[in-house]
Amino acid sequence: MSEPDEAPVIITINGQAVEARKGAMLVDAAKAVGVEIPVFCYEPRLGKPIGACRMCLVEVEGMRGLQTACSTPVARDMVVNTTSDQVKDAQNGVLELLLANHPLDCPVCDKGGECPLQDRTFQFGPGETRILEPKNHFPKPLDLSPLVALDRERCIACFRCVRFSEDVAEDGQLTFHERGDSTEIATFSGEPYEGRFTGNTIDLCPVGALTSNPYRFVSRPWDIKNAPSICAGCSVGCNLEITERDGEIKRVTGRPDPNMAVEEGWICDRGRWAFPALTAGDRLVMPEIVDQVGRRHVRIERAVGDAGAILRRSGIRVAFLLGTPVTVEDGFLALELSHLLDDAPVARLGVSDDGLGPLRALPGAQMHDMDGADVIVMVGGDPSSQQPVTELRLRKARRNGARVAMVGPRPTALDGNTAEALRTVPGRLGDAMDVVAERLLGSSRAIVLWDECDLAAEPVAADALARLVASTPGARAIELAADVSGPGLRALGIPATGVLEQIEAGEVDVLITVKADPTTGPGGTRWAAALNQVPTVIALSTHRSPIVDLAAIAIPVLYGLEEAGTLVSMAGRAQRLRPGAIGPEGAAAAWEVLVGLSHRMGQPLPDRTAAQAFDRMAKRFPAFSGLTCTDLGLLGAPIAAGTGGPAAPARRAEGEGLALVVSTPVFGDATAHRSDALDCVREETHLGLCPAEADRLGVSGSTHVRVTTPFASVLLPLVEDHRLHEAGAYLVLGDPASMAATLLPADRGPVCAVISAPVAQEVGA
């Protein structure tokens, strides 16, 4: 839907002259001046109004009968009455009729207390029921999926969920069946409603028809507190709302007041249902130290004290390694601490910046800029699986008329009806630059989405792409960043390289890791060997992992949804996390631990809150200059664009065999694996091959294959898929325990893999 952009006009609402934008819908115009007109079906994020529920009827002078305020555009000199007797009767009437077949089971309904139908009934309803007739009954409540429950008797047929499925997610799975008062929500033949965005239907439902299965009977609205925060699942940076009860996160939803520049209120199911990972069995809840007695639990003061004591020793050589989800404040305080420690090296686990400078210097765009794009080209990547909500924006852009092309080696969920799919030979994105140029030709509002990993692997292509975009008038770029912390840490100048090499050179006595475990990731084998040479590892970690077992001191820290801090999204938007829960008793925010260390070292840093740390940081780093924590507010703000960097020479893939095409689906990562709720949609580690290639390699039909690179050799499940290019082996990373990521070099550079049939007993086991 196009935004009303015309000049304001004067209209009269309930006797008062007010200014409104011509073409805006009456409901919105009224709302802007504080007049509430009740609605159910109206939801502009779903597209044009449909005028179905009839809740919003108002009187407009000169128009016959009542008009639906949701679909009547403002016009000059309109005179509107939203409180006349006739309007009241209409509101009473619609509510009375909505309740005619409603089970009125609010006391046992999960929506009770936060239900628009209930609220509207109190505000605008008749107050008493005149209905003697028996209600229509539907078959009992059922699970639409393990995540979404449906009670059809509560449904008011507002079309919101089915429009979401058809017009936003475009998954075509959730539809109305039957008609009239038999209308019901259903999937095909009762199959589960599966997808990446299904939970949004729960947020959209204005009654208790669609509810969250994991939240079933968990709490009542008066027992809970809600906090607006940011998802730390991927680099999109969706805004969300956290529901807490008794200090624990019980629910995550889209924000009732969405961030229209980012996610528009749509979040993916990973973001919505990953939070149980925070209370998973392997959560690190108490600090551990290793001393003469052995490994034992201590209180956090003791652990930080011990660590501080180590750092105080003179001549000690320290290094920092940052993982995810690490906030900008964490990164800043690591830098601050490093200054106190002879400028100890600080590195992040992630993709090296080499050669990406030219792309990062391009004019950037925010997610919502895609809405008005005429052309969108994705180069590399697979946003549907790695930055999921991006998919919804791309679909919307297509609906708005943009031509969307996906240039890269992977098949994606967008291929076909949304994006023109231009498959490239794995490892040869560069060959497709002509095609990209062709797609950009003549466009004036193009947006190019480029994948950090894929383009880092091909610096020559990155440089070519940067030049193409720079020479296309009006074109802007968005980086599909590989991880949630990269953009923020990069803005602080923290590199992705250095620490490993220093360890290997025997120059590190103490390694402090912050939410980073390199042993299961790229270069894992090399890291593991290197870590053996580090006398002392101090691990700040949310969960148990190999590095925790290796650490002399392990300190539990808070996870994104539990802490305050700032994340920078892939579109360069700084947004604030707000704690939605208190986290384990023995844990603290990573930045707090770092400040604590400075105190124990006798050189206290001044920061008492994440906000103070942010403000101090913003003064020092040009990317954040002019921003304060307060400025970020609820919706965040874009930071300054990168200044770029030199192009880099071509890289050769290491190893032999097939080029490895790597995907890191957020539905498959460690957090997703820790959340039981996501059992039904989790993506598992596997190797994909096109059937012809599998045949050629003699592994066709086998359940597993052995994958060998110069860095590791791992047994992986095999999935044959005819959509895959035969010149590549498609590695999908899931559970870190599979060690599949160790097949990659430590800098995540290009690599080839030899695929072979497993020996018999390997598979049996």
Partner 1 sequence: MPQLNSVYRHREFQDLLTLSGYERAGGWNGLKATLEMSPDDALYAFQRSGLRGRGGAGFPMGRKASFLPKDSGRPTYVVCNADESEPGTFKDREILDKNPFQLIEGVAIASYGVGCERAYIYVRGEYGHQAEVLRRAITECREAGRLGPDAFGPGAPFDIALYRGAGAYICGEETALLESLEGKRGQPRLKPPFPAVAGLYGCPTLINNVETLAALPPIMHRGADWYAAIGPEKSPGTKIFSVSGHVLKPGNYEIVMGETTLRELIFDLAGGLRDGREFKACWPGGSSVPVLTAEHLDTPLDYESLAGAGTFLGSGGCIVMDDSGCIVRASWRLAHFYRHESCGKCTPCREGTGWLEKILGRIVHGDGRLEDLAMLESLFGRISGRTLCALADGAVAPVQSALELFRDDFVQVIEQGGSPVPEPMGVINV
Partner 2 sequence: MTAHEISEFLAPIRHEFPDQRSLILPALRFAQEEQGWLPPEAMAAVAEATGYSQAYVESVASFYDRLYTEPVGRRVISVCTTLSCMLRGSDELLAHVAANIGTNGEGTSADGMFTLQRAECLGACDRAPCLQVDSDDQQGPLTHDDADAIIGALRADGAPTRYDR
**Interaction between residue 194 and partner 2 (CB under 8 A):** no
Q: Contact letters (x/-) for partner 2, 137-166, by CB under 8 A?
A: -----------------------------x
DSSP secondary-structure letter at 235? T
The beta-carbon contacts of 412-418 under 8 Å, at least 24 apart in sequence, are 412/382, 412/383, 412/384, 412/385, 413/196, 413/384, 413/385, 414/378, 414/383, 414/384, 417/170, 418/170, 418/394
Among 15, 64, 139, 189, binds partner 2 (CB under 8 A): 189
Beta carbon nearer to partner 1, 126 or 691: 126
Report whether 488 contacts 642 (CB < 8 A).
Answer: no
Q: What angle do CA 727, 732, 735 make, to 5 degrees?
A: 155
Q: Out of ligand FES, partner 1, partner 2, none, which partner does residue 187 contact, by CB within 5 to 8 A per kind? A: partner 2
- The correct pick among 4, 8, 31, 54 for binding partner 1 (CB under 8 A) is 54
Amino acid 413 reads A
Residue 56 as a binder of ligand FES (CB under 6 A): the answer is yes
Q: Which of residues 159-178 bind partner 1 (CB under 8 A)?
A: 159, 176, 178
The correct pick among 23, 44, 51, 113 for binding partner 1 (CB under 8 A) is 51
Query: Nearer Cβ to partner 2, position 209 or 500?
Result: 209
Residue 351 CA to residue 328 CA, distance in Å, equals: 17
Element (H, E) at 460: helix 459-470
CB of 64 to ligand FES, least distance (A): 17
User: Is residue 39 a contact residue for ligand FES (CB under 6 A)?
Assistant: yes
State yes or no: residue 58 binds ligand FES (CB under 6 A).
no
Interface with partner 2: number of residues (CB under 8 A): 14
- The site partner of 157 among partner 1, ligand FES, partner 2, none (C-beta below 5 to 8 Å per kind) is partner 1
Asked whether the beta carbons of 234 and 484 are under 8 A apart, the reply is yes
Helix (H, G, I), strand (E, B) or coil at 244: strand
Query: Is residue 90 involved in binding ligand FES (CB under 6 A)?
Result: no
Both tokens of 173, joined, read 């799975």
Give dist(CA 755, CA 389) in Å, integer. Answer: 33
- How near is the Cβ of 41 to ligand FES at its closest, in Å? 3
Q: CB of residue 55 vs ligand FES: minimum separation in angstroms?
A: 5
Q: How far apart are CA 489 and CA 517, in angstroms?
A: 17
Give the CA dihedral 447, 452, 458, 463, nearest 10 degrees.
40
Sign of CA dihedral 518, 519, 523, 528: positive
Q: Which residues contact residue 119 at a Cβ distance below 8 angstroms, ignoring those fewer than 6 apart?
A: none
- Work out how close the CB of 23 gets to partner 1 at its nearest, in angstroms, rounded to a whole number: 14
If one asks whether residue 201 binds partner 2 (CB under 8 A), the answer comes out as: no
Using CB under 8 A as the binding rule, whether residue 175 contacts partner 2 is answered as yes
Closest approach of partner 2 to the CB of residue 650, in Å: 42
* Closest residue to ligand FES, based on beta-carbon distance: 70
Measured CA to CA, the distance from residue 137 to residue 103 in angstroms comes to: 9
- Sign of the CA dihedral with 265 first, then 268, 271, and 272 last: positive
Q: In terms of CB distance, is 58 or 419 closer to partner 1?
A: 58
The amino acid occupying position 514 is V
How far apart CA 31 and CA 13 sit, in angstroms, is 11
Which of 1-40 are b and which e, b meaning 16 or more Cβ less than 10 Å from the residue's Cβ? eeebeeeebebebbeeebebbbbbbbbbbbeeeebebbbb
133 or 178, CB closer to partner 2? 178
Question: Residue 51 or residue 498: which is nearer to ligand FES going by CB?
Answer: 51
> Smallest distance from the beta carbon of 153 to partner 2, in angstroms?
18
* Contact (Cβ atoms closer than 8 angstroms) between residue 39 and residue 46: no
39 contact choice in partner 1, partner 2, ligand FES, none (CB below 5 to 8 Å, kind-dependent): ligand FES
Q: How far is the CB of 192 from partner 2 (least distance, A)?
A: 11
Q: C-alpha distances in angstroms, 616 versus 158, 471, 491, 599, 613? A: 49, 38, 15, 18, 5
Q: How far apart are CA 66 and CA 51, in angstroms?
A: 12
User: Whole-angstrom Cα distance, residue 124 to residue 135?
Assistant: 22
The CA–CA distances, whole Å, from 734 to 469, 547, 564, 666, 671 equal 33, 19, 28, 8, 10
Map residues 258-287 to x or -, x wherever contact with partner 2 holds by CB under 8 A.
Answer: ------------------------------
Cα–Cα distances (Å) from 488 to 492, 494, 573, in that order, read 7, 9, 9
400 binds partner 1 (CB under 8 A): no
| C-alpha–C-alpha distance, residues 202 and 204, integer Å | 5
Q: How far is the CB of 187 from partner 2 (least distance, A)?
A: 5
Question: For the chain, give me the number of helices (H) and strands (E)?
Answer: 24, 34
Choose among partner 1, partner 2, ligand FES, none what residue 428 binds, the Cβ cut-off being 5 to 8 Å by kind.
none
Residue from 137, 177, 295, 313 in contact with partner 2 (CB under 8 A): 177
Partner touching 123 among partner 2, ligand FES, partner 1, none, CB below 5 to 8 Å by kind? none
Residue 55 binds to ligand FES (criterion: CB under 6 A) = yes
Choose from partner 1, partner 2, ligand FES, none: what does 56 bind? Cβ within 5-8 Å by kind: ligand FES
Stretch that binds ligand FES, among 53-61, 188-196, 613-621, 692-700 (CB under 6 A): 53-61
Q: Which tokens in the block code for residue 318?
A: 């320290």
Q: Which listed range, 7-15, 46-54, 250-258, 566-574, lies at the site for ligand FES (CB under 6 A)?
A: 46-54
For position 53 contacting partner 1 by CB under 8 A, the verdict is yes
Binding mask 388-427 for partner 2 (x = CB under 8 A): ----------------------------------------
User: By CB under 6 A, is residue 577 in contact with ligand FES?
Assistant: no
> Cβ–Cβ contacts within 10 Å for residue 686, how many?
21
Binding residue (CB under 8 A) for partner 1 from 16, 129, 136, 444? 136
Choose, by CB under 8 A, the member of 106, 119, 176, 549 that binds partner 2. 176
Is residue 23 involved in binding partner 1 (CB under 8 A)?
no
Report d(CA 670, CA 483) in Å as an integer: 13
Cα–Cα distance, 615 to 329 (Å, whole number): 10
Binding ligand FES by CB under 6 A: which of 9, 20, 35, 40?
40
**Considering the rule CB under 8 A, would residue 27 count as an interface residue with partner 1?**
no
Query: Which one of 145-153, 170-178, 658-666, 727-735 is the stretch in contact with partner 2 (CB under 8 A)?
Result: 170-178
Among 167, 171, 654, 684, binds partner 2 (CB under 8 A): 171
Strands (E), 585-689: 637-638, 658-663, 686-689
Residue 100 lies near partner 1 (rule: CB under 8 A): yes
Helical packing angle, 328-340 and 590-600, nearest 10°: 20
Tell me the site size for partner 1, rule CB under 8 A.
39
Segment 11-20 long-range contacts (CB within 8 Å, at least 24 positions apart): 11/74, 11/75, 11/76, 11/77, 11/78, 11/79, 11/80, 12/77, 12/78, 12/79, 12/80, 13/80, 13/81, 13/82, 14/80, 14/81, 14/82, 14/83, 20/74
Query: Containing H/E element for 729?
Result: strand 728-732
Among 67, 173, 239, 569, binds partner 2 (CB under 8 A): 173
431 touches partner 1 (CB under 8 A): no
93 binding partner (options partner 2, ligand FES, partner 1, none; Cβ < 5 to 8 Å by kind): partner 1
Residue 18 beta carbon to ligand FES: minimum distance, rounded to whole angstroms: 20
Binding site for partner 2 (CB under 8 A): 166, 171-179, 186-189
Binding site for ligand FES (CB under 6 A): 39-42, 51-56, 68, 70
Binding site for partner 1 (CB under 8 A): 48-55, 57, 65-66, 68, 71, 89-90, 92-94, 96-98, 100-101, 130-134, 136, 156-157, 159, 176, 178-183
